[in-house]
Structure 1
Amino acid sequence: MFVTGADGLIGRAVVAALVADGVPVTALSPTWGRPSPADRIVTGDATDAGDVADGLADADAVVHLGAIAHRDLAPPYEVYRTNTDATFNVLSQAGQRGIRRAVIASSINAFGVPMNHHDVEPAYYPIDEDIPTQIDDWYSLSKRSDELTAAMVASHWGIDVVALRFPHVAAADDQRRYAAQASRDPARMAREGWSYLDLRDAVGVVLVGLVAPFEGAHVVGVSAADTLLTTDTTTLLDRYAPGVPRRRALPGRSSLIDTTRATDLLGFRPRHSIHAPTGYGSAPAPAGVLP
């Protein structure tokens, strides 16, 4: 297994989970903030052909998480170039080597609305993978471009790829702090549906993405089964997005991310909520998800 972005938040947790499951892992990162449990370490850049070739040696699958993870973390060209170069480099080399499965990190921002500097709203709720795009920034563009790269390599080389549209991902305590901040200005997160995903569930969906029986390239939205805030979802929408159409009833604190595809394609259901410390307790854990 080859994991890029292996010293990032999700990357560290994915590597640890794979190693704990007895999977040999080669981990790539340009820097290391702490030791990695991976079997083999490559200190390098996912945009570098040689570094990626080294990392892919003997790999049978890929988890590509390496990226500049926000619009404001570097100049626009650097964000777009780094993210799109890395994804093309990793997936095209994997495809040429005959590797059959890859999981890559996309983002809820791939449809463009959350970071758009104009006064725009989603076309509808809940947000799904086919929602119209309104891309206005280079990070969102890079994530949508990565999804198109996945479709190209799947067509050209026959590698099966799932691009996961992650919302805000954090460990439980950090997520609760994030929720407290969001509650002070609820309008700020309306365009991404007050969505979030516990780090343990982020790891879980990556793992099922590696083994689920699908073919081709797929974009998959993921989130917790509820929203960050304690207010009922319909109340939030009535207050902060009253003009946006709703495609179904949204009882209680229902998530505003449509995760039907995650369930149908991958068999994934989230297990963790910041509002229920012991988990949702209503659905069995999908195969391959660690407790």
Structure 2
Amino acid sequence: MAVASPSPDAGPRTGRRVLVTGADGLIGRATTAHLTQQGWRVSALSRTWDAPVEAERVITGDAADQQLVAGAVADVDAVVHLAAIPHPGLGTPREVFTNNTAATFTVLAEAGEAGVGRAVIASSINAFGLPMNSHDVRPAYFPLDEDSPVQHDDAYSLSKWVDEQTARMAHSRWGTDVLAIRFPLVRDSEALREYAGRAHEDAELARLGREGWAYLDIRDAVTVIEAGLERPLTGAHVVLATAADVLLDTPTAELLRRWAPDVPCRKEFGGREGLVALDRARELLGWSPRHSVHAAADARHDAMEMTA
């Protein structure tokens, strides 16, 4: 049952209108706040709320609820769909797959029926299936790109790949232009540094190597979503969006030699250069990441060299 109410902290009442689903999640809250600050009139939808949210309208309910979503998209210009079970361990395989794919289909179908022209949806770097695969698999090549061969073994990764196919159908059926963003690990800078410090076990390092030790600062996550809303584009597109470097404070070439010596490389990698190709995000969206988990350490190193 829908429960809609104005937020006491609602932002400007001018500008375009956007529905953000999954608005109580990490990326959802940051996106809602950022778009509100940029003048968007945000409707925020979530099953539950841990705290007040910056939005003009707050809607409590399930993104797979057709009636609820139909009402939520009736007066918006765009949709940012982030609602999902974000990990295969947070439900049974059936629960994860059906929840994620039903929510994406419902949001895109209702948006299409309502004539909404633009949608941005959260896919995942896992959509090609290898990072969470239970078998001893490796990427076909580095850098990873949107055309990396698919090999699914878990419900979450499969659900994200299916979401991308749903986006293509939505464009064909209703003419909605859809951008599916393949996000890696997304956190704020402090949480990323803590995670990198803990990722020292061999098994974890090898698993992270399947996704190129990729990550993204939350500040860059919201700007790529904003670019997806505002950049002129036609069709249904998939883009990878990661930081420009690897998460670990280790040279990329060393990581490859130790953890992925059998994976072909299509280029040489210097320093901590990232193992995910960002060409499509740059060309399609004019977007590049600005933040690095290593920025503070690199700044301290440069300062020490200058005073030495």
Aligned twin of 1:28: 45
> Secondary structure of 2:287's partner?
coil
Is 1:49 the counterpart of 2:66? The answer is: yes
**8 Å CA contact 2:239, 2:280 repeated in 1:** yes
Letter in 1 for 2:187: A
Deviation at 1:97, TM superposition (A): 1.1
Is 1:266 the counterpart of 2:285? The answer is: yes
Give the number of aligned pairs: 280
Deviation at 1:184, TM superposition (A): 4.0
> Secondary structure of 1:226's partner?
coil
Seq. identity, %: 57
**8 Å CA contact 1:27, 1:55 repeated in 2:** no
Match of 1:82 among 88, 99, 104: 99
- Higher-Rg structure is 2
> Secondary structure of 1:116's partner?
coil
Matches within 5 A, 1:103-252: 103-185=120-202, 186-252=205-271
Letter in 2 for 1:86: A
Deviation at 1:187, TM superposition (A): 2.1
**8 Å CA contact 1:2, 1:61 repeated in 2:** yes
> Secondary structure of 2:120's partner?
strand
| C-alpha distance in 2 between matches for 1:223 and 1:278 | 20
| C-alpha distance in 2 between matches for 1:188 and 1:163 | 24
**Per-residue deviation, residues 78-113 of structure 1 (Å, max 9, x unmatched):** 100000000000001111111110000000100000
**8 Å CA contact 2:180, 2:239 repeated in 1:** yes
**8 Å CA contact 2:181, 2:240 repeated in 1:** yes
Aligned twin of 1:275: 294
Aligned twin of 2:77: 60
Change (3 A) 1:237 1:278: closer
Deviation at 1:14, TM superposition (A): 0.4
**8 Å CA contact 1:162, 1:209 repeated in 2:** yes
Aligned-residue CA RMSD (Å): 1.3
Give unpaired runs (5+ residues) of structure 1: 281-291
> Secondary structure of 1:242's partner?
coil
**8 Å CA contact 2:74, 2:114 repeated in 1:** no
**Per-residue deviation, residues 145-182 of structure 1 (Å, max 9, x unmatched):** 00000000011111110100000000010011111112
Letter in 2 for 1:239: R
Change (3 A) 1:76 1:83: same
TM-score (norm 1): 0.94
Deviation at 1:248, TM superposition (A): 1.0
**Per-residue deviation, residues 117-141 of structure 1 (Å, max 9, x unmatched):** 0010000001000010110111000
| C-alpha distance in 2 between matches for 1:247 and 1:83 | 34
TM-score (norm 2): 0.89
Comparing 218-227 with 175-184, which one deviates more in the overlay?
Answer: 175-184
Deviation at 1:50, TM superposition (A): 1.2
**8 Å CA contact 2:120, 2:180 repeated in 1:** yes
Deviation at 1:11, TM superposition (A): 0.3
Is 1:95 the counterpart of 2:101? The answer is: no
> Secondary structure of 2:239's partner?
strand
| C-alpha distance in 2 between matches for 1:85 and 1:231 | 40
Deviation at 1:278, TM superposition (A): 9.9
| C-alpha distance in 1 between matches for 2:167 and 2:222 | 20
**8 Å CA contact 2:129, 2:158 repeated in 1:** yes
> Secondary structure of 1:25's partner?
strand
| C-alpha distance in 2 between matches for 1:276 and 1:54 | 44
Match of 1:16 among 30, 33, 58: 33
